[in-house]
């Protein structure tokens, strides 16, 4: 929310100190200095980076074109990649996955996101022998999740289901059994997963998860759950995890914004504002 308020504050400041719309045509005015125009109606050096590429007029006015063209081409109408590093027995991961992540992200923005779950977290890999933060049980569940992620076409509801059961005290096998039943998982898929989870294939997938976690760039994770957007791992941006819908609506670059971006924040407070263009007709006034 702080982040949102800051963005709104910037929006307010930049629109109130200068009107982009009423500025004279940019061709008439002076030359560029290091991309940024001297005589812009706004102070281009103070434009928050999150605004650089979202408005064509602004992009041109401030000379952000080069970067923004590349970004726009690469991301236009592409799903946003959201990677989550987690471990199965970390209470905060369980809470995040079964609640906020599932309800507010997976169900509401799933069509716009390419999910990548990496069940490894703070485990350590000593020469191929994995040690998990919450012990052997956690290693077994992480491995199970790796297999689910590999063999199930739509694995997230199943993983969330397992986490919810385990959070409630179920054993791994009981949790899985219940979730196979809940989602009517085909027996041959369940067999593949169980075979994987009991053997070397699952170990290999866990090695992949270890590698994936270790390769995060530029920042290594310091805790879990940990998020990456479009494969970029930034420690100072982890606070976005507590307001993922806002981050998703900010980062997703499509012709059409996800429907659920409208009315964001309505759980706490809603600002409907006043729509421009409707004026009370004097004749209509005070009739009734
Ligand atoms: C993500 O980044 C890692 C390096 O951090 C790289 O090895 C991997 O190929 C990238 N994956 C995708 C899907 O871009």
In tens, the pLDDT along 11-52 reads 333 333 333 333 444 433 444 445 555 578 899 999 999 999
Chain-centroid distance, C-alpha 59: 24
Q: In terms of domains, do 161 and 245 share one?
A: no
CATH number, domain at 198? Answer: 3.40.30.10
Nearest CA to ligand 1 atom 7: 215
User: What distance in angstroms lies between residue 157's CA and the mean position of ligand 1's atoms?
Assistant: 25
Q: In terms of domains, do 210 and 134 share one?
A: yes
- Distance, CA of 35 to CA of 53 (rounded, Å): 14
Q: Is position 203 within any domain? A: yes
Could you tell me if the CB of 215 is within 6 A of ligand 1? yes
Q: In terms of domains, do 72 and 148 share one?
A: no
Nearest CA to ligand 1 atom 1: 231
Considering only CA atoms, which of 74, 122, 97 is closest in space to residue 224? Answer: 122
What angle separates helix 135-151 from helix 155-167, to the nearest 10 degrees? 160
Q: In terms of domains, do 96 and 194 share one?
A: yes
Asked whether 87 and 123 are in contact (CB, 8 A), the reply is yes
Atom of ligand 1 minimally distant from the CA of 81:
13
What angle separates helix 187-197 from helix 172-182, to the nearest 10 degrees? 160
Biggest CA–CA distance in the chain, Å, is 83
Tell me the sheet residues that pair with 113: 80
Nearest CA to ligand 1 atom 13: 231
- What confidence score (pLDDT) does residue 9 get? 38
Nearest CA to ligand 1 atom 6: 215
User: What distance in angstroms lies between residue 166's CA and the mean position of ligand 1's atoms?
Assistant: 31
User: What distance in angstroms lies between residue 189's CA and the mean position of ligand 1's atoms?
Assistant: 28
Asked whether 249 and 257 are in contact (CB, 8 A), the reply is yes
Q: Is position 221 within any domain? A: no
Cα Rg, the chain, nearest whole Å = 24
Could you tell me if the CB of 12 is within 6 A of ligand 1? no
Which regions of the chain are under pLDDT 70? 1-38, 265-272, 282-288
User: What distance in angstroms lies between residue 217's CA and the mean position of ligand 1's atoms?
Assistant: 8
Atom of ligand 1 minimally distant from the CA of 216:
5
Atom of ligand 1 minimally distant from the CA of 215:
5
User: What distance in angstroms lies between residue 200's CA and the mean position of ligand 1's atoms?
Assistant: 24
Task: Provide the sign of the torsion angle of the four alpha carbons 213, 219, 224, 225, taken in this order.
Answer: negative
Range of the domain at 56: 1-23+40-78+241-252
User: Residues with Cβ < 8 Å from 29, sequence gap 6 or more?
Assistant: 37, 39, 40
Considering only CA atoms, which of 132, 88, 133, 81 is closest in space to residue 109? Answer: 81
Atom of ligand 1 minimally distant from the CA of 116:
13
User: What distance in angstroms lies between residue 246's CA and the mean position of ligand 1's atoms?
Assistant: 24
SS (H, E, C) the chain: CHHHHHHHHHHHHHHHHCCCCCCCCCCCCCCEECCEECCCCCCHHHCCHHHCCCCHHHHHHHCCHHHHHHHHHHHCCCCEEEEEEECCCCHHHHHHHHHHHHHHHHHHHHHHEEEEEEECCCCEEECCEEECCCHHHHHHHHHHHHHHHHHCCCHHHHHHHHHHHHHCCCCHHHHHHHHHHHCCCCHHHHHHHHHHHCCHHHHHHHHHHHHHHHCCCECCCCCCCEEEECCEECHHHHHHHHHHHHHHHHHCCCCCCCHHHCCCCCCCCCCCCCCCCCCCCCCCCCCC
Could you tell me if the CB of 217 is within 6 A of ligand 1? yes
Beta pairing, strands 113-119 & 226-229: unpaired
User: What distance in angstroms lies between residue 221's CA and the mean position of ligand 1's atoms?
Assistant: 15
Q: Is position 56 within any domain? A: yes
Pocket test for ligand 1, best of 215, 219, 230 (most atoms within 8 A of CB): 215
Domains identified in the chain, total number: 2
Atom of ligand 1 minimally distant from the CA of 230:
14
Q: In terms of domains, do 151 and 67 share one?
A: no
Q: In terms of domains, do 131 and 204 share one?
A: yes
């Amino acid at each position: 929310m702080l982040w949102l308020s800051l963005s709104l504050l910037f929006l307010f400041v930049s629109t109130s100190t200068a009107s982009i719309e009423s500025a004279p045509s940019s061709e008439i005015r002076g030359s560029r200095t290091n991309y940024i125009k001297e005589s812009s109606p706004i102070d281009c050096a103070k434009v928050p980076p999150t605004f650089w590429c979202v408005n064509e007029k602004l992009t041109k006015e401030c000379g952000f074109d080069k970067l923004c063209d590349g970004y726009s081409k690469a991301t236009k109408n592409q799903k946003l990649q959201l990677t989550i590093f987690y471990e199965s027995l970390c209470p905060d991961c369980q809470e995040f996955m079964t609640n906020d992540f599932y309800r507010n992200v997976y169900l509401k923005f799933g069509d716009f996101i390419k999910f990548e779950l990496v069940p490894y977290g703070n485990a350590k890999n000593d020469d191929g022998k994995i040690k998990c933060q919450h012990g052997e049980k956690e290693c077994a569940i992480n491995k199970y999740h790796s297999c689910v992620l590999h063999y199930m076409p739509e694995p997230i509801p199943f993983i969330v289901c397992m986490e919810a059961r385990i959070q409630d005290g179920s054993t791994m096998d009981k949790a899985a059994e219940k979730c196979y039943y809940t989602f009517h998982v085909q027996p041959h898929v369940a067999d593949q997963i169980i075979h994987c989870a009991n053997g070397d294939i699952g170990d290999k997938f866990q090695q992949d998860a270890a590698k994936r976690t270790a390769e995060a760039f530029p920042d290594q994770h310091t805790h879990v759950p940990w998020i990456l957007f479009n494969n970029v791992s930034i420690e100072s941006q982890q606070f976005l995890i507590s307001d993922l819908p806002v981050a998703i609506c900010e980062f997703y670059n499509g012709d059409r914004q996800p429907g659920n971006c409208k009315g964001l924040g309505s759980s706490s407070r809603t600002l409907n504002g006043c729509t421009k263009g409707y004026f009370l007709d004097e004749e209509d006034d005070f009739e009734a």
